[in-house]
Structure 1
């Protein structure tokens, strides 16, 4: 039994509302269950309860056992002096306020229908399941599911906004600098994301501004700070970049103390850090005011055009400095740009609009629904239960659902869990 389940029962009146009685055999009538409080203090504010023909207005506290009142030290907290009803699953002791007046207690298990309890037990059964509701997920109403996923999508964007807001505070509200750090992290993908971010953090964005007009200079800066120009390699382009970096290192007094080691292991050649850093350098050498362009763009086509960049010419025939490869133009692919949009661009646009007080929710939804769904184990597993992920909006929402609801057994705060319990 979870206390959240009792909150659910009370909030949605999933109990016999007639013939209620307190543990002292006083008649109870619930006029208003109150407002659910998710912060500290009593669980429901401003309830209206008639007890033994007397109408009371105040707060309701909910526990598994009556004795939990003392376990949580409520008897010492003035915030609980205005509790008009104590709702419990099991009444094991009487509870008194600070002025020694008894708190009326409702043992709600006496009034909960068996069907509600069975639905709860089924949802939280101890079977070895991927998610609690996997046996019933297919039956969830499509309209409910669509609306819940949209809400989860924005919940995930709000969560990502916290990272952006922290970076803004650290950079004194430099949006261009924050965009560079976010892009750098996502150019590194999962393997080198944190390493690329550490490189971006090691370079003040004012240095990027001063060097971005020359692609080779910027490439030397990024590769050098990443520790990729420290070997003895007799290759003309490598030597040129190394010389350029040594000059930049002295000029800008660059340090690499906090830079994380770059990895090549288990990466496909197109994702090698040499290629991704060259593409990042190309992006910034071609766009002096990238943040403004990101904010102005409002269609996928414009974003695909903006991020249509390749490497410097050397990398057309190389993936590493040591070995030549078959010639190929290494453009950012649409699928890679989609990842940048999902993980950097849309969160940046959302956060910027929120700070400016602008409503761009319709644009955010439009972009999210036009980008293809991500492909990973979570999305595959959900689609095996019911084909539900058709766009990036869906896949981002499902990732949020799995991580912050399913994995934490928060079915009672989930629209899907609520709908299944209501059946």
Structure 2
């Protein structure tokens, strides 16, 4: 038995609430069970109840055993002076206030249905990939879809906190935050952190000043990434070295904290040289990129805006020293989808929230228009249940697995809650 299960029982009234008696035989009537407190202090604030015709207003504390009151040293904590009811699974000792009057106690085990306890125990003792793997497909579809939408908003809220940390560092410059997050996601999983360290090494004011020249931007990015330190007899490479040395001296740049880039096991189109050239092309082509991205509303609009390629040199190269068949290397729609999922939509959510202009309908419309992501977590969930194959589903399922299933937070999950409450 865990306290969080008792919190669940109390919060959602999963017990017989009529004809209640305290352990001393006094009739107990519940008016308001209180507000769940997830921080320090009593478990439920501002409850209202009637004990033996006397109305009480105050806090409720919940324990597995009555004696846990003393184990947790509540008798010396003033925060618990206003507790009007002690709710326990098992009553094993009397608890007294400072004036030596006993705190009324309700022993829950006498009022909880055996099916509820059986369902909870079965779920929490599961050794499957997720606790509810066997019954995952049985959850009501309407509740399931609502839960997925809530999970997606939760995921956006978590990313929003990260973005606001970057916003503080960038002195409330949303353009600078966008630059860093886009750069990170241009690096994909393999080079994401390296690309972010590269973006962090450059003050965005430098990008603003030189963005009119794509070759300057490329030289800046390649130089900060440490890719211009060899002796390669190629005119483009030599020119990039000269440009970078000028920019480095002019803007007092250093790249001491930049993480080395990886080429190993990457497809040529995902080489960091190609992605950095495309990134430079985007910023040299689009002025006021942030405001444009925030106003677009359809996936097709984003495809059109982000349809950028490389500079001419990289049409016939993947690395500095070896030429290849000439090919236009534009951002693919699947790559733009990743930028939407991981960068643009989280920033759109965070920015609209910061200015008090949230429009979740637009976000849901956009995320649902993108195809489902493919990874081991999503694939496993899809094998358990038929769901709509959109990016909102995949983002929600990732949130479900990492923040609920992996942490055994079934009681806070709409799926777990329904399975625990079902009748056998």
CA distance in 1, matches of 2:78, 2:143: 41
* Superposition deviation, residue 48 in structure 1: 2.2
Instruction: Confirm or deny that 1:208 pairs with 2:207.
Output: yes
Counterpart mapping for 1:16-415 below 5 A: 16-125=16-125, 127-415=126-414
Q: Is the 8 A contact 1:373 1:393 kept in 2?
A: yes
State the secondary structure of the residue aligned to 1:50. strand
Q: Is the 8 A contact 1:9 1:15 kept in 2?
A: yes
TM-score by length of 2: 0.97
CA distance in 1, matches of 2:386, 2:285: 41
Q: Is the 8 A contact 1:132 1:406 kept in 2?
A: yes
* Superposition deviation, residue 337 in structure 1: 0.3
CA distance in 1, matches of 2:288, 2:99: 66
Deviations 1:126-173 (A, max 9, x none): x42111111000011111011111111111111111111111111111
Q: Is the 8 A contact 1:33 1:44 kept in 2?
A: yes
Deviations 1:288-340 (A, max 9, x none): 21111111211111111110000111111211112222222111000100010
Deviations 1:253-280 (A, max 9, x none): 1011111111112211111100110000
* Superposition deviation, residue 65 in structure 1: 1.8
CA distance in 2, matches of 1:265, 1:71: 56
CA distance in 2, matches of 1:229, 1:97: 74
Which sits farther off after the overlay, 386-395 or 205-214?
386-395
Which sits farther off after the overlay, 47-56 or 2-11?
47-56
Please, what is the CA RMSD of the aligned residues?
1.3
CA distance in 2, matches of 1:98, 1:266: 69
What residue ranges of structure 2 are gaps of 5+ in the alignment?
A: none
Q: Is the 8 A contact 1:389 1:395 kept in 2?
A: no
CA distance in 1, matches of 2:19, 2:359: 50
* Superposition deviation, residue 375 in structure 1: 0.9
Q: Name the count of aligned residue pairs.
A: 422
* Superposition deviation, residue 21 in structure 1: 2.4
CA distance in 2, matches of 1:121, 1:389: 31
State the secondary structure of the residue aligned to 2:207. helix
What residue ranges of structure 1 are gaps of 5+ in the alignment?
A: none
Deviations 1:95-128 (A, max 9, x none): 1223332111112112211111111011111x42
CA distance in 2, matches of 1:194, 1:68: 46
TM-score by length of 1: 0.97
CA distance in 2, matches of 1:369, 1:56: 49
Q: Is the 8 A contact 1:379 1:389 kept in 2?
A: no
Deviations 1:213-260 (A, max 9, x none): 000110000011011111221122111111111111111110111111
State the secondary structure of the residue aligned to 2:276. helix
Q: Is the 8 A contact 1:383 1:389 kept in 2?
A: no
CA distance in 1, matches of 2:238, 2:94: 82
CA distance in 1, matches of 2:342, 2:44: 37
Q: Is the 8 A contact 1:76 1:98 kept in 2?
A: no
CA distance in 2, matches of 1:304, 1:218: 23
CA distance in 1, matches of 2:312, 2:283: 16
Deviations 1:345-404 (A, max 9, x none): 111111111111113111111111111111111110110100224211111111111111
Q: Is the 8 A contact 1:7 1:62 kept in 2?
A: yes
CA distance in 2, matches of 1:261, 1:202: 13
Deviations 1:1-42 (A, max 9, x none): 221110111122222223432222323222322222222221
